[in-house]
Chains A and B, each alone.
Chain A
Amino acid sequence: SYVLTQPPSVSVAPGKTARITCGGNNIGSKSVHWYQQRPGQAPVLVIYYDSDRPSGIPERFSGSDSGNTATLTISRVEAGDEADYYCQVWDSSSDHPGVFGGGTKLTVL
């Protein structure tokens, strides 16, 4: 089945830009979605279809996807952005189509 690889942790100072990567074989040919999970809470969709934002998600959140890497970018990071972030794809050709990355813990210094 398809494998998504994320760094376990990323740290960033408030006001700076955080970039969280998601690696996968030719992931640029797939649509990537991102979820934010604050401690003790359910995941929330923050980016879908590589770079679209659901209603209510700040413009500070953006996404890109090319080659073997997809990236979630969070600009002007705030303390409230501290959370775990998961990437996800749908591998329709697989018998295990729902695939998540291992998650990245974003720490705001």
Chain B
Amino acid sequence: QVRLQESGPGLVKASETLSLTCSVSGASIRYYFWSWIRQPAGKGLEWIGRIHTSGRTTYSPSLKTRVTMSVDTSKNQFSLNLSAVTAADTAVYYCARDLEAAAGEVNWFDPWGQGTLVTVYS
């Protein structure tokens, strides 16, 4: 059974960089895409971007100037960096496996990590 676990600081100062890691257990991280998704309190889900273990990335246009994702296959982990954070970046951040079919035309997310709350303070 594949399990994902997010880790990182729960508090980040405004203008600094949010850094989170997702640890994967129960399966190799290789050969899959892995996504980050966030959810502000009381609001819906927002896809941030994804990374393949080849290093290929796709980021949301609204965040791409501030987002960097990386993968460490030796540790079975992948990471998210979001720079120049503001209060609008306060949210629960989820990592999820990104399953692909139909030559990349179809993608869905399963499973998800439990999520980690990141609060931006000033």
Q: Which residues on A are within 8 Å of B, measured CB to CB?
A: 1, 31, 33, 35, 41-45, 48-49, 54, 86, 88, 90, 92, 95-103
Contacts and interface: CB of A to CB of B under 8 A. Distances in A.
**Chain A at the B interface: SS class:** loop
Contact of B112 (A44, A49, A99): A44
A60 B107 CA distance: 24
Nearest to B106: A31
A100 B45 contact: yes
Interface string B46-86: 11011000000010111000000000000000000000000
B44 A54 contact: no
Top 9 closest A-B pairs, CB basis? A98-B47, A90-B107, A33-B108, A45-B110, A100-B45, A31-B106, A42-B112, A103-B44, A48-B108
A11 to B, nearest CB: 19
Contacts of B34: none
- Mostly helix, strand, loop or mixed at chain B's interface? strand
Given A42-B114, A96-B61, A103-B45, A88 B104 contact: no
Interface residues of B, number: 28
A49 B108 CA distance: 8
Given A31-B106, A48-B108, A90-B108, A43 B45 contact: yes
A101 B44 contact: yes
Given A31-B102, A95-B61, A98-B50, 4 more contacts: A54-B110, A92-B104, A97-B58, A98-B35
Contacts of A102: 44
Contacts of A33: 108-109
Contacts of B108: 31, 33, 45, 48-49, 88, 90
Interface in B25-54: 35, 37, 44-47, 49-50
Contacts of A95: 61
Max chain B CB contacts within 10 Å: which of A88, A96, A98?
A98
Contacts of A42: 94, 112-115
B44 A100 contact: yes
